[in-house]
Amino acid sequence: MNILEVKNLSLAFRMYDGAFSRRDLSVLTNLSITVRGGEILAVAGSSGSGKSLLAHAILGILPKNAVTGGELFWCGERLTPKLQQKLRGKDLAFVPQSVTYLDPLIRVGRQVTKDDKRLADLFFRYHLKKEVARQFPHELSGGMTRRILISAALAGNPKLVIADEPTPGLSPHLAEHAMKHFREIADSGAAVLLITHDIDLAIRFADRVAVFYAGTTVETANASDFADENLLRHPYSRVLYRAMPQNGFAPAVGSQPYAGALPRGCLFAPRCEKCTAECTKAPPAPRVVRGGEVCCRHAA
């Protein structure tokens, strides 16, 4: 069953240049993903491609000047601001990216849960000492803070967990531990949306991987497709693959286009080796190729 469906989501920030001129800075365009119960969908892709904004859009915690388009569905039902508010923190859990999301003036134990038994379980699971519950956020290391954020999100019994970069700062052992917990949650029927740069982890624990570039989904592949460059469909997915330390560590030239200066056609066209004249004219439509979805005219 589809827990969450995002259809052609677009997002722009309304900016004012002086008193009379207004412009919309487009940051997400034509973004579509589906997260099913029982699976981990990883969202990977370049820094600044709008991965966190997607999470914030689903949760309904975007800043006031954000203008959105497209549709969101929760278990088949339209996800309205009212429904978002009802679900947030209960059925819809969030592990934020920044370690600054904790309240600096409240002891961390209280920020995880008020249920002492549950707290003890979670702390045991994440190798946090009991005393840590009595400490304040500034007394914790980066990795400990990360574990507190994960514990807080998983304290309830969420139907969808959105984890925004849950593992930086964790040692491989702890990162694996957290991922196994996400896997357990997915295996029990809930859905996990895992936003990450760590493609290695994504491949090992996720079912499918959505690759983002400049605010759009370029490809949704099976995690197993990342075993071999030739199984990937979009040229950018292959660039990501080749940049991994174990696959050549190749630094691709150029950088992602800026919001406000996006090319008219395919967003990857300026850096793409397969780019043809029509790629620069109009964005490609999503297609199904070898069991995955891809937005590229040349994928086969």
Partner 1 sequence: MLLEAKNIVFGYERGRNILENMSLSIESGERLALVGPSGCGKSTLAQILAGNYVPGSGQVLLDGKALPRRGFCPVQLIYQHPEKALNPRWKLGKSLFEAWAPDDGFLNALGIEKVWLSRYPAELSGGEMQRFCIARALAPETRFLIADEITTMLDVVTQAQIWNMLLRIAAERNLGILAVTHNGELAKKISARTVTFPEKT
- For partner 1, the closer of residues 16 and 114 by Cβ is 16
Rounded to whole angstroms, the Cα distance separating 133 from 109 reads 4
Stretch in the footprint of partner 1 (CB under 8 A) among 26-34, 79-87, 241-249, 285-293 = 241-249
Residue pair 187/75 in contact by the 8 Å Cβ criterion: no
Residue 270 in the binding site for partner 1 (CB under 8 A): no
Minimum distance of partner 1 from residue 129's CB (angstroms): 10
- For partner 1, the closer of residues 18 and 245 by Cβ is 245
Least Cα distance to 61 among 88, 91, 35 occurs for 88
| Overall size of the chain counted in residues | 300
Could you give the angle at the alpha carbon of 258 between the alpha carbons of 216 and 236, nearest 5°? Answer: 45
- For partner 1, the closer of residues 82 and 173 by Cβ is 173
Residue 2 in the binding site for partner 1 (CB under 8 A): no
According to CB under 8 A, which residues from 25 to 84 bind partner 1?
44-49
Least Cα distance to 259 among 91, 1, 6, 23 occurs for 23
Residue 181 in the binding site for partner 1 (CB under 8 A): no
Q: Which residue has the tokens 């925004």?
A: 164
End-to-end CA distance of the chain: 29
- For partner 1, the closer of residues 146 and 234 by Cβ is 146
Residue 176 in the binding site for partner 1 (CB under 8 A): no
Q: Which residue has the tokens 């008219």?
A: 264
Which residues would be at the binding site for partner 1 (CB under 8 A)? 44-49, 139-144, 146-147, 165, 168-175, 197, 199-200, 239-240, 243-246, 249-252, 255
